[in-house]
Amino acid sequence: MAGKILKELGKPDAELSVVITDDAQIQALNREYRGIDRVTDVLSFSQVEGERPLMENDLLGDVVISWEQAERQAGELGHGTSEELARLLVHGVLHLFGFEHVGCSGEEAERMRRMEDRLLGIREEAGE
């Protein structure tokens, strides 16, 4: 799935790491790096510094997902955990590409949502 996302975003040779963890670990990371002491579903840590454009083979960074939170959200939203994990992976990767939704204009948040939908459609088309 990550490879398809990167290809669709025009960076098929870029690299990223994906970590699936538990609530306690993601809460510790959220507290340490964002100053927010609560569980979250996904965190992204970019390795791309400054305003330079992404290079083809850049190490983009890390996407950290809480399995436990993904399971809860999947139940709340009425779909499977694998679907929720895919949604969170897409969301996290988009943050590595500079997309934002918190503290930005409604237009930018909508742009991110549309891109999420587009990338999740790739997953559905591939039958994953």
Q: Which alpha helices (DSSP H) does the chain contain, by range?
A: 2-8, 23-34, 67-77, 81-96, 106-125
Q: Which domain holds residue 37?
A: 2-125
How confident is the model over 3-52, as pLDDT tens digits?
999 999 988 989 999 999 999 999 999 999 999 999 999 999 998 766 65
Instruction: Transcribe 24-59 into DSSP letters.
Output: HHHHHHHHHHHS--S--SEEEEE---TTPPPPTT-E
Split at pLDDT 50, 70, 90, the class of 107 is: confident
Flag whether pLDDT at 91 surpasses 70: yes
Please give the model's pTM, rounded to 2 decimal places. Answer: 0.85
Q: At 21, which CATH number?
A: 3.40.390.30
Split at pLDDT 50, 70, 90, the class of 56 is: low
Flag whether pLDDT at 127 surpasses 60: no
How many structural domains does the chain have? 1
